[in-house]
A and B are shown apart, each in its own frame.
Chain A
Amino acid sequence: MLEHENCQILLTFLSDFVDGELDQDLCLQIEFHLSKCPDCSIVVDTLKKTINLYHEQSKITENVPEEVRERLFRCLNLEEYMIHI
């Protein structure tokens, strides 16, 4: 549990911090806190990794199965425009 007051402040800005959307002053304050607080460092690192794993997974997600694609074009009466892959 993160109980220090600065840890709670970090929690408030956590998403903006990992998304790189905080202004520079606040960002520096948080980075200073992280250099002194191993627990918050772990939370930030594992949160970034969590987001990154899902992001990477989305890149390798399978395409629409061919039979599903065929049924989609058929239900829209667009079979004649379907490019066969």
Chain B
Amino acid sequence: MDEEHNEYSIQEIISGNRSEFAKLIDAHSNQIYRLAQKMLNNPQDAEDVLQNTFLKAFQNINHFEGRSKISTWLYRIATNEALMIIRKQHPEVNIGEEYGEEDNEINSPIQLIDWCCLPESEMVSSESRKELDNAIQRLSEALRIVFILRDIEGLSIQETSKILNLTETAVKTRLLRARLNLREQLSTYYGDRFLARSKE
């Protein structure tokens, strides 16, 4: 949403106008729920993130200083909620540090099949959409959240780095790794379909 044309008034929300807060929910709940679903792949966990995000926003709205967009502020709360659930369920996962991050090395692409000319109907079939979701779930949590914020939710590198408390360089490195990893996975999936079509 273009936040210069909000359907709600942030000043009214801060001064306790509940009706305006309800408008805020309807303006941003789809984004927050999508982030939680993509990150956690579980409807119940996603609902918990959704509720806790708006509950915390409701309780802390007077701390919102307007230095960022309100959507970025909500994404930050939602990201922390989602990461908290991951840490609870998988204490061994280290979100703060991506394996091999310090060496800054990027794995060279392996799959070199040009599957871009597959028909659009095959690219966006329900089976393909499921594969897109599965591919995201195979990313490490540290890469997944960067890809979701930047490439699915469309946040800037700067906004993503602020939300995750990472340097912009770290965000860029993780983003490239995530993108290349997904490209490899999709090249395997769509490449098989492309080769099968070529044989027909």
Contact = CB atoms under 8 A, between A and B. Distances in A.
Interface of A: 1-3, 7-8, 11-12, 14-16, 39, 42-43, 45-47, 49-51, 53-58, 61, 63-64, 68-69, 71-73, 75-76, 78, 81-83
A69 B43 CA distance: 13
B58 interface: yes
A84 to B, nearest CB: 11
Nearest to A75: B51
Contact of A53 (B112, B114, B175, B186): B186
19 contacts: A11-B106, A11-B108, A15-B175, A15-B179, A42-B113, A43-B183, A47-B183, A49-B116, A51-B179, A55-B154, A57-B129, A57-B132, A58-B34, A58-B153, A63-B30, A64-B29, A72-B54, A75-B51, A81-B19
Contacts, number: 113
Nearest to A7: B108
Interface residues of B, number: 47
Contacts of A15: 172, 175-176, 179
Interface of B: 18-19, 21-22, 25-26, 29-30, 33-34, 37, 43, 47, 50-51, 54-55, 58, 106, 108-116, 123-124, 129, 132, 136, 147, 151-154, 172, 175-176, 179-180, 182-183, 186-187
